[in-house]
Structure 1
Amino acid sequence: MKKLMACLVALMMVPMAAFADFKEGVNYDIINQGKATATPEVREFFSFYCPHCYTFDKGYIPTLKAKLKESSVPLKQNHVDFIGREMGVEMSKAFAIAEQLGVLERIKPAMFAAIHDYKRPPATAKQIRDLFIANDVKPEDYDKAASSFMVQTQLAQMEQRTKNAKISGVPTFVVNGKYRVNTQSIKSFEELTDLIMYLTKKD
């Protein structure tokens, strides 16, 4: 019985030990000296042009979402516009339009695939519009969203968040609006999840 209790205690201590190993300045940085967000949240900064972001989106993000859902923590995304030269802003706008129309889960994989699988990245705003239409978005709905105040507001917010978090590479995660994860310090998806979950509970 004593051996069993000792084993159970050891197993319970494993995640705590892992959490204790995470260090500020090594595994994460504090980007906001003020208060964290009112409720825990995780935000992924990404670009459609980033191959690693595509890998994350297919192989890791669904797992992370499921884990966060257990704690009622939302996973949000923020497209960055500093990759892709002049098309970077257009891609951010495409992301905002897809979110406003509620078709992100359809458009996002189509956009990633066009760029990375088929090597046919949209080169103009019209080609982005064509991609939406090819994926069952009505032209009039796209045009209305593209010129909407909500999309312009979201674009400005994404740009400001990127600057505030001092994002210079993607994919990057920011937790509670305060902690920026150093993904280069992480050795596995499991460790990344542990770190993110640790940071959601830090405040």
Structure 2
Amino acid sequence: MLRFTLLLLISLFGINTHAADLKQSKSNFIEGKHYQALEAPLINMGAPVVEFMYYGCRACFQLVPAVAEWSHTKKIDVLLVPVHSESAMVEEARLFHTFDVMGVLGKMYEEGFIIVQTDKSKLQGTDRVNSFLDKNGVDKEKFWTVWKSQEVNQRLAGSAALTRQAKIIKTPTFVVHGTYKVDVESLGSVEELFELLNYLVAMQPKSAPVLLKKPG
């Protein structure tokens, strides 16, 4: 089941972390080589693993079934954040957030990659999106109303802020416990990616995020 938090995140299939299974992962990963520690950890993410993704990213699309299977098998929540700035990759992130606000992200998440990346439709712009909405039985009028809504705009502001804070420069990038950032290009295989994620999920962050204090 997919769910979305107020911080623009969705959960893929997982419920709880099973630490005993995770400890079977490799222990020869090196900080600074295979993963980085964020200078400013993300807080209140609601799940141990966050995937920063982009609908125009082919590797993100290819990883969808593997990430879902890993999340389901290990029972580890994976939250998704669309990567963008205030002026770049915004339309793709808006597509993601619009699907979610409408409550159709569960069935339309992968379709978003197809809309952006494939030539299955020669149509462009609004007509292109409408053709995929029709195919999947999504209300077009409601979609375009939500697309322009304040709720989607607020979620865009949030995902842009998370992209900046985590200093995401490529996708897919994973962040574990809001602290450990994994760039898949530093790894040799998909199998190694999940071994590293297992290893990091089983770790405790070296330091807790600094929380804001109320004025005295």
Identify the TM-score tier after normalising by the shorter chain: 0.7 to 0.9
| Aligned partners of 1:68 and 1:75 also within 8 Å | no
| Aligned partners of 2:115 and 2:128 also within 8 Å | no
Unmatched tracts of structure 2, length 5 or more: 1-20, 205-216
Structure 2 residue 32 is the aligned partner of structure 1 residue 31 = no
- Give 2:73's aligned residue: 67
**Per-residue CA shift, 1:120-157, capped at 9, x if unaligned?**
58743564355334421113321342233321121111
- Give 1:22's aligned residue: 29
- Give 2:92's aligned residue: 91
Q: What is the CA RMSD across the aligned residues, in angstroms? A: 2.8
One-letter amino acid of the counterpart of residue 63, structure 1: E
- Higher share in helix: 1
Q: How does 1:71-82 map to 2 (within 5 A)?
A: 73-81=76-84
Unmatched tracts of structure 1, length 5 or more: 1-11
**Per-residue CA shift, 1:70-104, capped at 9, x if unaligned?**
xxx3111111236xx86x21111010011112211
**Residue aligned with 1:15, SS:** coil
**Larger deviation, residues 127-136 vs 142-151:** 127-136
**Length, aligned pairs only:** 182
TM-score by length of 1: 0.76
One-letter amino acid of the counterpart of residue 57, structure 2: C
One-letter amino acid of the counterpart of residue 104, structure 2: V
TM-score by length of 2: 0.72
Structure 2 residue 56 is the aligned partner of structure 1 residue 55 = no
What is the CA distance between 1:55 and its match in structure 2? 0.9
> In 2 relative to 1, CA 129–192 (structure 1 residues): closer, same or farther, beyond 3 Å?
same
- Give 1:7's aligned residue: none
Q: How does 1:26-175 map to 2 (within 5 A)?
A: 26-33=33-40, 37=44, 40-58=47-65, 60-69=66-75, 73-81=76-84, 88-118=89-119, 120=121, 123-125=124-126, 127-175=128-176
